[in-house]
Chain A
Amino acid sequence: MLCGVGYRHPLRQWIKDSGNTIECLEITAEHFYAGQQRSILHELGRTYPISVHGLGLSLGSPGGLRSEDLCEFVGVVEACQPRWISEHVAFTRTKDIDLGHLNPVPPTVENAELIAAKARELSSACECPLLLENITSSLRLHGDLNETDFLKRICDLADCRLLLDITNLYINSRNHGFDAAAWMAEVGAQRIG
């Protein structure tokens, strides 16, 4: 397993100085939209195995991916040739408004199919394996599936693995009173990438 950090501009020099203790980097796609910092992106892509992590594609919103967002995301992918891409099981925008926050999606069969279809569209457009991340939320939404069955169904339909955010899982387990280890066992270690 490769050990890495999330690339942030204030950490650039520290990352350079850290040598081979940093084995891979995750970059946030939106930080490089509109052609920003392309030379840095090229350099990082040449130096490290990269994961391109999206915050705002809003896989949980109704309809398909927004073409302008997808175009920007693909541009970042083409610039750094990542080994993986990732997004969240969440919605971040309504039809008209970018909420700027990762919001939970009711765990229903219909939403699992919606998110999986968009996940497949994203992975296909980027020609890269996708992972989907669990979010933290103060809300516990109810649907016809529980959270672990919802995530498993999405991953199976989208043929992708779960980007397990251990801290999000831990926080949810503390705030909502469930056993994080049992949650992981329900998801299954083989689904975690």
Chain B
Amino acid sequence: MTRAGAAIVVLATLAALVGPALSPFDPAAQDLPLRLAGPSGQHWLGLDELGRDILARLLAGARISLLVGVVVVGVSASVGTLVGAVAGYFGGRIDEAISRLIDILLAFPGLLLAIALVAVLGPSLTNVVLALASIGWVGYARLVRGQALRAREFEFVQAARALGATTPRILLRHVIPTALPAVSVQATLGMGGAILAEASLSFLGLGVQPPTPSWGTMLSYGRAHLIDAPHLTIFPGLAIAVVVLGFNFLGDGLRDRLDPATHRRD
């Protein structure tokens, strides 16, 4: 499963990087007489409500999805790791304040806070990234805080402190590296989550705005043609499901290898 996941992730990345250049069709080019046409030899996945090639739009949408995933996970993991390490390492009031903030943010279910933030900031790709990253760091912070609480008692950390290492150096060179395996697992699973979240927001009309191709927006427009052109719904959803499944397979495999407890349990 891990290999299947890795293969899907590599293929999706390649599709996002070189796919749009290889596609013979412009994702924005309209062929109105052929609007809603089904899959054919020329247009493998058919055309949408404005006569645009669905495959070309899926490839262009892959760039958006993966870009959002990478940026959201990158920002969330960096901020969360740092905040969690500081909370766990210092403890006391700093930990108390950060933990309460985490509790409050975790009181909002899943995407709700992101929906709320995009609702007030306005729908755009930048605001989607901002909204998802502003809730995404919490999970990493909670994870790393727990690891840092343990790590600060390790002998090598105490030795570094005794040798006069500065606090930033101890955090960056000794405490944070102990949490990196767990963070990398969460980041891999988080990629799938971020892609799904972006697609959800775009589906609701709160994410990427037309004419920029996005898998969620494509699905949203497909709803109006469920009866006469189901391919508008089927292919974008399939793309989302396969890519998210790939990241989940990969994340699960990584967890099995990096987390001895899970490995033993299975």
> Does B bind A?
no
